[in-house]
Structure 1
Amino acid sequence: MDTEFLGIADLAEVPRVAVVVDVMRAFTVAAWAFGQGAEEIVLAESLDDALALKERHPDWVALKDGPPAPGFDTVNSPGTLRSLDLSGRTVVQKTTAGTVGALAVKEAQLVLCASFVVAEATAQLLRTRESGSVTFVVTGEDGQADEDLACAQYIARRVTGAGTDAAEFLRRAAESRAATELAEGVRQGVHPDDIALCLELDRFPFAMVATLEGPLMVLRPHAMPSLTDEDPV
């Protein structure tokens, strides 16, 4: 498998297969939303678009980065989201980096959204699709976020080598700028357990596939049977 690791701004053309990585916290939050029963996640272009979708669909659950805000139901925090019952609900998500990255590659043939909590499932799906060339989109810090790059590199190695040890990759994420800012309260809308939850390897037995459905980019879980049998959520 040929791989490249690019920031959002470095995407010169639409890749055939894209894995969009946001560990802290968009795609850890998305995985938790599915774990809490959400049916689908609509990735919003802007805060105004998220609010407009929420206004048209009052039963949808809207979330964003930062502190609570009028019109939004919750924040982009796995620690907060895990206490919500989202059974059968549609979630609207708008974040600073993760959703932006996914929308930047929305025309790709296959778009996966990933973090450590779905790393093995993502790698397995890439293997089953026999993806010859994969672009990993490192969303944080203009492509320099070490937690996202570490996760992307780990997934890439898992696609081709089952014996890859996650410890060093998780260490890099734990020592990243994002983790420090979450721990020190620089970023708002943070639950005390967020960092630990973002570093919980393979918590969920599904990959997350984003597809264009009309004007909307919609994210859904894609269960990997071998993981589901061995490691139920």
Structure 2
Amino acid sequence: MDTRFLGIAELAEAPSVAVVVDVMRAFTVAPWAFARGAEKIVLAESLDDALALKAHHPEWLALKDGPPAPGFDLVNSPGLLRSADLGGRTVVQKTTAGTVGALAVRDAALVLCAGFVVAEATARLLRARACDSVTFVVTGEDGHAEEDQACARYIAGRATGAGTDAAEYLRRAGGSRAAAELAEGVRQGAHPDDVALCLELDRFPFAVVATWEDSLMVLRPHPAPPAADGASARALPGG
């Protein structure tokens, strides 16, 4: 498998297969939304677009980075989202980096959105699809975010079948600037458990696939293919 690791600005053309990585926090939040019952997640280009989508679909819930704001129902925090009841709901998500990265590769044949919480499921799906070339989009800090780099390289190692040890990659992510800012309260709209939740390896047994539906980019969970050794994926938590 040929792998590339690029920041959003470095995407000169749509890759055939893209894994968009945002550990802290967009693509930790998205799997949590599915675990809390969300049917789908729609990615918005801007905050105004998110509010317009909600206005057109009043039953949808809008989610953003930062503190709560008028018109938005949720913030981009796994710690705050984990107690939400999203059964059957559609969530409109707009964040600073993750959603931007996913929309930048909308024309790819396969787009996966990932963090550590869905790392193994993402790697298994790449292996099952026999992907020859994969572009990992490192969304944070213009492609230099340590937590996103670490997660991308960990998934790449797992996707090639290597016996990659997660400990060093999780250590790198835990020492990142994003982790420090969350722990110190620099970033608004956060919960004290956010860093730990973002570093919870393989919390969920599904990958997150993005597809183009009715002029919108939509995320849905995709069950992880069986492990090569026949081991089962972790069970989805009930709460």
- Does TM, scored on the shorter chain, surpass 0.5? yes
State the match for 2:17 in structure 1: 17
* Moved segments of 4+, more than 6 Å: none
CA change 1:103–1:230 in 2 (3 A) is closer
State the match for 1:152 in structure 2: 152
- Provide the rounded CA distance (Å) in 1 between the counterparts of 2:162 and 2:189: 36
Secondary structure of 1:23's counterpart equals: coil
State the match for 1:232 in structure 2: 235
Equivalent pairs, count: 233
- Give 1:146 shift: 0.5
Which amino acid in 1 is paired with 2:15? Answer: P
State the match for 1:113 in structure 2: 113
Secondary structure of 1:226's counterpart equals: coil
Which amino acid in 2 is paired with 1:135? Answer: T
- Give 1:229 shift: 4.4
State the match for 1:219 in structure 2: 219
Unpaired stretches in structure 1, ≥5 consecutive residues? none
- Give 1:185 shift: 1.1
Mean CA deviation greater in 52-61 or 66-75: 52-61
State the match for 2:26 in structure 1: 26
- Provide the rounded CA distance (Å) in 1 between the counterparts of 2:109 and 2:208: 14
Secondary structure of 2:226's counterpart equals: helix
- Give 1:180 shift: 0.5
State the match for 2:170 in structure 1: 170
Which amino acid in 2 is paired with 1:232? Answer: A
Secondary structure of 1:59's counterpart equals: coil
Residues 1-233 of structure 1: pairs in structure 2 closer than 5 A: 1-226=1-226, 229-233=232-236
- Provide the rounded CA distance (Å) in 2 between the counterparts of 1:163 and 1:156: 11
- Give 1:59 shift: 1.1
- Give 1:214 shift: 2.1
1:96-131 Cα deviation digits (max 9, x unpaired): 000000000000000000000000000000000000
- For normalisation by structure 1, the TM-score amounts to 0.98
Which amino acid in 2 is paired with 1:231? Answer: R
- Provide the rounded CA distance (Å) in 1 between the counterparts of 2:125 and 2:233: 16
- Provide the rounded CA distance (Å) in 2 between the counterparts of 1:230 and 1:75: 29
- Provide the rounded CA distance (Å) in 2 between the counterparts of 1:231 and 1:27: 18
Aligned sequence identity (%): 78
Which amino acid in 2 is paired with 1:117? Answer: V
- Provide the rounded CA distance (Å) in 2 between the counterparts of 1:230 and 1:187: 33
- Give 1:224 shift: 1.6
